[in-house]
Amino acid sequence: MTNHYEELRRKIENHSAHVGVVGLGYVGLPLVVEFAHAGFCVTGIDVQQSKVDAINRGESYIQDIPTAALAPYVKSGKVRATTDFSVVKDLDTINICVPTPLRKTKDPDMSFIVNACQEIAKHFHPGTLVILESTTYPGTTDELMLPMFEEAGLKVGKDFFMCFSPERVDPGNPKYQTKNIPKVVGGITPECTEVGALFYKQALDTVVPVRSTQVAEMVKLLENTFRMINIGLVNELALMCDRMGINVWEVIDAAGTKPFGYMPFYPGPGLGGHCIPIDPFYLSWKTKQAGIEARFIELAGYINGQMPHFVVDKIQNALNDHTKPLKGSKVHVMGVAYKRDIDDVRESPALDIIHLLGKRGAQVTYSDPFVPHINADGTDMKAIDVDAGVSKADCVVIVTDHKKFDYQALVKNAKLIVDTRNALKGIESDKIVRL
C-alpha cells in the first residue's frame, strides 16, 4: 500500500512535486513566482483566458510582480498557465486563491470557492495537498471543502491532505511581500498541518503552524478586523474633531509620541481593497449563526461607510465658503486607487466619492498615474493630465496620496483643495481644507 504522506513529503523535500495554483490574481501569481524561484514546476489555473495568455507570454499584469521576474520561469518551462482543470490529475499540491466577495446583504459569496473545488474534484487523486488561501469564515475548509473531496471515499490525513493558510498580501508594500511575510498554516489533521508547513518552508522565509484550519481562518479575520475597527475609531475621532474645530492629524501625531500602549491609525475617505472592508463581515456573519452579535464590527463598518459622504459634505461646504454651489462645479479627484502607489481600485472610496459628487450635480474628472480608466456608475472614465484637471477645477480633492503627485505645484495652481489624506502636511494655505 502506498504511504501517501511519506511519498508527498519526499516529493516536496526534493522539489519534484508539481505545484498548482488556482486563481492567478494578487495572491496567486506571486505564489507561482516564489515556488518557481524555489525550483518547483508550477502550473497556474484561471478561468480568465486573458490572464492565462499573458502568463504564457511571460507578461505580468500584477504590479508587485515585474514581467522580468516572471518571464525567465515561463521561458525555462518552470511556469505555465491554463484554463483547463484536467491538469489537476498531474498536480501534487494545489493552492486555491480565488476571490471571496460579499453579497450586497453582507453575507459571504462562496461561489468562487465552490466552483473551483468542484472542478478540482473531477480530476482529484490520492496523495495531493490542497490548501485554501482565500479569506473566509471559520469552518469553511472542514465544513464546505472537505466533504467535496471525501465523496470519492478518500480519507483526509491519509489519502490526501487539506489545509488553510490565510493570504497576507499587501499590494505595493516594498518591504513585505509573499516571500518574507510569515505564513500561517493549519490543517484538518496534524499530518495535514505538517505537510502544509513543509510545503511552504521550501519557498517562504517563515512558516507558522497552528493546530487547526479554524485557527488559521480566524487569524486573518482578527488581523483585518483589528485594522477595520481601529480605522473606524479614528474616523469617528475625525468626525468629532471636525465638529469641534480640532486638527485631528495634530492630535494623532502628538498621541504617537507615547512610546507604549498606543499605535497610530489614520483617518481617511473610506476603506478600500479586497480585505479590510470585507473580511470582518465574514466573522460577523459567522458569529450571528452562533447567536452572537458582532457589535464592534457592525459599528465600525457603519462609520467607515459614512466617510465618503463626509468627504462630499466637506467638498460642498468648502465650495460654499468660496461662494460656489457644488452643483455645476468642476471637481477634480486626485487618485482613485484604494491606497498609495498601487493600481488596485477594488472597493476604493474614490468610486463612492465620484458617484456621490455626480448625484449632487458636480462635473467630475480624475487623475491617477496608476489607473488610466475606471468604470463609474456604468460609465467609462479616463484619467486626465493633472495640470489640466487642476487648472479647470473649482475644487481639487486628494483621495489617494500617490507619491508621484507634485503637491507643491498643486497648492500653487489649485483654487481650492480638500485633503483627505494629510498629503499637504506642513503646508499652510487658506485654500486647503483638511479632513
CA distances to 141, 165, 236, 265, 267 from 257, rounded to whole Å, are 43, 36, 21, 13, 18
Q: Could you tell me how many residues make up the chain? A: 435
Taking CA 287 as the corner, what is the angle to CA 230 and CA 151, rounded to the nearest 5 degrees? 125
Rounded CA separation 322/360 (Å) = 17
Q: Is 117 considered catalytic here?
A: no
Give which of 270, 320, 303 is closest to 435, Cα–Cα.
270
Q: Max Cα separation, the chain?
A: 84
* H or E element that contains 102: none
295-321 helix and 213-244 helix, angle to the nearest 10 degrees: 30
Rounded CA separation 202/116 (Å) = 25
CA distances to 193, 231, 271, 305, 335 from 276, rounded to whole Å, are 27, 10, 7, 12, 19
Q: 226: which residues sit within 8 A by CB, 6+ positions away?
A: none
Cell of 59: 507578461
Q: Specify which residues 129 forms β-bridges with.
A: 93, 161
Side-chain half-sphere CA neighbours of 57 within 13 A:
9
Asked if 420 contacts 249 with a C-beta cutoff of 8 angstroms, the reply is: no
Asked if 255 contacts 215 with a C-beta cutoff of 8 angstroms, the reply is: no
Q: Which of 41, 117, 163, 275 is catalytic?
A: 275
49-56 helix and 67-76 helix, angle to the nearest 10 degrees: 80
Asked if 433 contacts 418 with a C-beta cutoff of 8 angstroms, the reply is: yes
Give which of 220, 237, 338 is closest to 280, Cα–Cα.
220
Residue appearing with cell numbers 488561501: 133
The residues annotated with a catalytic role in the active site are: 275
